[in-house]
Structure 1
Amino acid sequence: MFKNARLFRLDTPFGLDAAELEERLATRRFRPCGPIETATLGWAAPLGEETAALVHGVGGCLLMCARKQERLLPSAAVAEALDERVAELEAGEARDVGRAERRRLREQIVNEMLPRAFTRSRRTMLYVDTEAGWLVVDSASEKQAEDIVSLLRETLESLPARLPDPAKTPTAVMTAWMLEDSAPSDFVTGDACELRDADDTAGVIRCSKQDLSSDEILNHLRAGKRTTKLALEWDERLSFTLAEDLSLKRLRVGDALLEELDDDEMDPAMRLDAEFAILALQLRQLIARFDELFGLIPPDLAAPAPVPASQEAPF
């Protein structure tokens, strides 16, 4: 269901249940582009257009879907039409067309062409884990994820969500895992990584289908490069590429977890529901593991430690 995961920490508990969130999202339900609109963005049904609900809740997680539609109007086509219009005016009226008039002509041409332009839609899945306090967006693009978070913030009028601020630098941790072969026992390094110079972001080496423990790769790390992306498999449950901002790409659920979905009688909505239940649970546990490794949750936001048995109040 999710091919990527960008994480946003909620600073305060998410105070809406599925019904309340549904009511809020309905105020910004997706609608197609109008004749002269270049793009529209709103909320759509996460389980498919054949369903109506804008929120689907499973195990304390609220699944949503943002849909964006854009009119495809190539700039080259606009430029060509503008050149033709300018040439006609200059030839017919024996004068030069100035910059301000060219700008007005371009706006006129865009308004004429937009109603005939093709449209393209893109759906972006996201969910709020109300129990763990995280917002997860299926986006490989940081800007696209921020746009979706902004839409949710505008819809709810308030959403205290921010990117993770780990206590331990992921780049340093992943570099040590590779250089010292010290990854935790529940993580297995894959065959792909990205290495960058510590003082020059332009110097980058991308490796795919390589033995990451070979001297060829390790020598780059010994020379000062740092691991900014690393392919990993976690506990045979999830495989992904971990980036330095703790986003996940090429996310995939382990085959063993998906065996129960091999049921030809399941309709698409039922399959999506089952996939989401599996994915959300695994990501909740993975994020908790990341907190142990990188320190994602500041001490003032972390859950209080359990009271020792000797200090518990008597019944």
Structure 2
Amino acid sequence: MFKNARFFRLDTSFGLDAAELEERLATRRFRPCGPIETATMGWAAPLGEETSALVHAVGGCFLMCARKQERLLPSAAVAEALDERVAELESGEARDIGRAERRRLREQIINEMLPRAFTRSRRTQLYVDTEAGWLVVDAASEKQAEDIVSLLRETLESLPAKLPAPSKTPTAIMSSWLLEDSAPNDFVPGDACELRDAEDNAGVIRCSKQDLASDEILNHLRAGKRATKLALEWDERLSFTLAEDLSLKRLRVGDSLLEELDDDDMDPAMRLDAEFAILALQLRQLIARFDELFVLSATSLAAASPTESSSAEPGPAPTRQDAPF
């Protein structure tokens, strides 16, 4: 389902059940672009266009889908049409076209071209984990995630969601995992990473399909570079690339967890429902593990003793027995 994951902590309980959330989202249901609109964004059915429900609830998690449609109007095409219009006017009227008139002509050309422009849609899935207090967005970029969070905040009129502010620096911890071979037992580094110079952010090395324990990589770390992205596998359940802002990319669920879905009799909606249940449970437990490692919340920091909160040693690995979901 999700290829990426960006986490936002909810400062207060979500406060809406599935029916109430459905009613709120219906006020901003997606509609296609009008003839002179450049973009529209609203809520669509998360289980596909053949369904109508805007909220799908599983185990305390509410799955939603934001859809954005844009009209594709290349700036080069607008500039070319503007140059032709300006040249025609200057030649026909024997005068120069000023900046203000060029601006009006450009707006006129855009209004003429927009109704004929092609459209492109993008669906972004997200869910609220009401039990753990997190909002998870399948967004590859920070801007895309912020746009979706802003849409949800406008729809609900209030949404106290914030990016995690870890007390322990992820880059320092990921770097020590590589440099000291000290990753917790449930985290296995993969074969890709991004290293940046601690003093010069422009100095970057991206490695793919490399042995991260090789001297070549370790020498960069010894010279002062820090791991800002690291491919990881967690407890044979999830694989992903972890970034310094704790966002996940290239997210995949472990094959062993998906074996039960190898049923040809399952229709697409049932399969999506099962995949979401598995994914949401695993991400709930992964975020809790991040909370142990990076101290994401004030409550977890206050609950730890002074020795524990300042220690660089990670907590014990979770057991493989899953909690009821």
**Is TM (by shorter chain) over 0.5?**
yes
Deviation per CA, 1:158-191: give whole Å up to 9, x if none: 0000000111000000000000000000010000
How far the C-alpha of 1:11 sits from its partner, in A, is: 0.4
Deviation per CA, 1:34-87: give whole Å up to 9, x if none: 000000000000000000000000000000000000000000000111111111
CA RMSD of aligned residues (A): 1.2
Give the match's secondary structure for 2:109.
helix
* 2:313 corresponds to: none
* 2:195 corresponds to: 195
* 2:146 corresponds to: 146
Q: Distance in 2 between matches of 1:16 and 1:214?
A: 51
How far the C-alpha of 1:302 sits from its partner, in A, is: 7.8
Q: Distance in 1 between matches of 2:180 and 2:145?
A: 34
* 2:121 corresponds to: 121
Deviation per CA, 1:133-161: give whole Å up to 9, x if none: 00000001000100100100010010000
Q: Does 1:60 align with 2:60?
A: yes
Deviation per CA, 1:64-119: give whole Å up to 9, x if none: 00000000000000011111111111111111111111110000000000000000
1:173 alignment partner AA: I
Give the match's secondary structure for 2:66.
strand
Q: Distance in 2 between matches of 1:66 and 1:101?
A: 38
Give the match's secondary structure for 1:109.
helix
How far the C-alpha of 1:301 sits from its partner, in A, is: 9.2
Equivalent residues in 2 for 1:169-248, closer than 5 Å: 169-248=169-248
Q: Distance in 2 between matches of 1:130 and 1:25?
A: 17
Q: Distance in 2 between matches of 1:16 and 1:301?
A: 28
Q: Give the TM-score, by structure 2 length.
A: 0.92
Q: Contact 2:291 / 2:300 at 8 angstroms: preserved in 1?
A: no
Q: Distance in 2 between matches of 1:274 and 1:49?
A: 18
* 2:48 corresponds to: 48
Q: Contact 1:167 / 1:296 at 8 angstroms: preserved in 2?
A: yes
Give the match's secondary structure for 1:299.
helix
Q: Distance in 2 between matches of 1:119 and 1:299?
A: 46
1:265 alignment partner AA: D
* 2:272 corresponds to: 272
Give the match's secondary structure for 1:202.
coil
Give the match's secondary structure for 2:62.
strand
2:158 alignment partner AA: S
Give the match's secondary structure for 2:202.
strand
Deviation per CA, 1:234-289: give whole Å up to 9, x if none: 00000000000000000000000011111111111111111100000000000000
Q: Distance in 2 between matches of 1:152 and 1:269?
A: 24
* 2:256 corresponds to: 256
Q: Give the TM-score, by structure 1 length.
A: 0.95
How far the C-alpha of 1:300 sits from its partner, in A, is: 7.7
Q: Contact 1:238 / 1:253 at 8 angstroms: preserved in 2?
A: yes
Q: Distance in 2 between matches of 1:100 and 1:271?
A: 57
* 2:291 corresponds to: 291
Q: Contact 2:295 / 2:301 at 8 angstroms: preserved in 1?
A: no
* 2:135 corresponds to: 135
1:52 alignment partner AA: S
Q: Contact 1:11 / 1:301 at 8 angstroms: preserved in 2?
A: no
1:205 alignment partner AA: I
Q: Distance in 1 between matches of 2:278 and 2:220?
A: 38
Q: Distance in 1 between matches of 2:302 and 2:200?
A: 35
Give the match's secondary structure for 1:201.
coil
1:27 alignment partner AA: T
Q: Distance in 1 between matches of 2:49 and 2:223?
A: 53
2:99 alignment partner AA: R
Provide closer, same or farther for how the CA distance between residues 271 and 168 of structure 1 changes in structure 2, counting only shifts above 3 A: same
Give the match's secondary structure for 2:96.
coil
* 1:3 corresponds to: 3
- Paired-residue identity, %: 89
Structure 1, unaligned stretches of length 5 or more?
Answer: 305-315
1:288 alignment partner AA: A
Give the match's secondary structure for 1:296.
coil
Give the match's secondary structure for 2:201.
strand
* 2:75 corresponds to: 75
- Corresponding residue pairs, total: 304
Q: Distance in 1 between matches of 2:12 and 2:302?
A: 11
